[in-house]
């Protein structure tokens, strides 16, 4: 089980708020951002999103309001047609996973930004760095998908989604988008 860093950025100042999240939450957030990838069965966040809308509410926003000993505290702010609000406590990773499904804004307080925010310059190449553990066996890896046709990549995407290999599915989806963009 790996841990991931979710980097949220404050729009006006560029201050970044790194939040450590688990593998499941990272996959759920990624899938929430990629609207055209649907897992064969609903994920927990998809189920809860459907429940919220079924009972007549929408997610208005989330707020990361506190940090204690490195743990962020967040609330989901729900609202119905009668302007009744419902505030639910949530883990920040779950709150963000919900926010991406509703396209809801993510807010935080100045205190949280002061305590946990950092100025961080990220280059476009940072996510392309590969790491190999010393005891890991050397295995051949095909860099990129240029040897495959678009149809083959689409078949690979369907298989990855069926097998719930969402990391690979996201890579394949990005390759498909890149190719379709180059065609246009």
Question: With DSSP H G I counted as helix, E B as strand and the rest as coil, what are the percentages for the chain, rounded to 5?
Answer: 40, 25, 35
Is 37 in contact with 45 (CB distance < 8 Å)? no
107 and 150 assigned to the same domain? no
Backbone angles phi, psi at 26, to 5 degrees: -60, -45
Closest by alpha carbon to 167, among 156, 183, 177, 178? 156
Q: Number of folded domains in the chain?
A: 2
Query: Does 79 reside within a domain?
Result: yes
In the predicted structure, residue 174 carries a pLDDT above the cut 90 = no
pTM: 0.64
Check residue 165 and report its DSSP letter.
-
Domain boundary among 82, 116, 150: 116
Query: Does 108 reside within a domain?
Result: yes
Q: What is the mean pLDDT of residues 28-43?
A: 81
Residue 94 DSSP SS3: helix
The domain of 41 spans 3-116
In tens, the pLDDT along 48-102 reads 999 999 999 999 999 999 999 889 999 999 999 999 999 999 999 999 999 999 9
Give the range among 20-29, 87-96, 157-166 with minimum mean pLDDT.
157-166
Domain boundary among 100, 116, 132: 116
Task: Give the Cα separation of 59 and 57 in Å (integer).
Answer: 7
111 and 148 assigned to the same domain? no
Q: What is the CATH number of the domain that holds 21?
A: 3.10.690.10
Query: Residue 129 has what pLDDT?
Result: 37
List 8's β-bridge partners, or say none.
17
């Amino acid at each position: 089980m790996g841990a991931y860093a979710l980097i949220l950025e404050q729009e006006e100042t560029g201050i970044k708020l790194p939040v450590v999240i688990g593998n499941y939450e990272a996959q759920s957030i990624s899938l929430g951002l990629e609207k055209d990838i649907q897992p064969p069965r609903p994920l927990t966040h998809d189920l809860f999103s459907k429940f919220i809308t079924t009972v007549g509410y929408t997610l208005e926003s989330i707020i990361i309001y506190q940090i204690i000993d490195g743990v962020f505290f967040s609330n989901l702010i729900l609202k119905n047609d009668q302007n009744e609000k419902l505030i639910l406590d949530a883990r920040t990773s779950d709150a963000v996973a919900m926010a991406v499904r509703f396209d809801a804004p993510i807010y935080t307080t100045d205190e949280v930004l002061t305590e946990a925010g950092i100025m961080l310059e990220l280059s476009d190449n940072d996510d392309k760095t590969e790491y190999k553990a010393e005891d890991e066996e050397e295995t051949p890896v095909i860099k990129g998908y240029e040897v495959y046709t678009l149809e083959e990549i689409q078949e690979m995407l369907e298989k990855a989604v069926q097998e719930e290999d969402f990391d690979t599915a996201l890579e394949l989806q990005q390759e498909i988008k890149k190719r379709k963009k180059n065609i246009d």
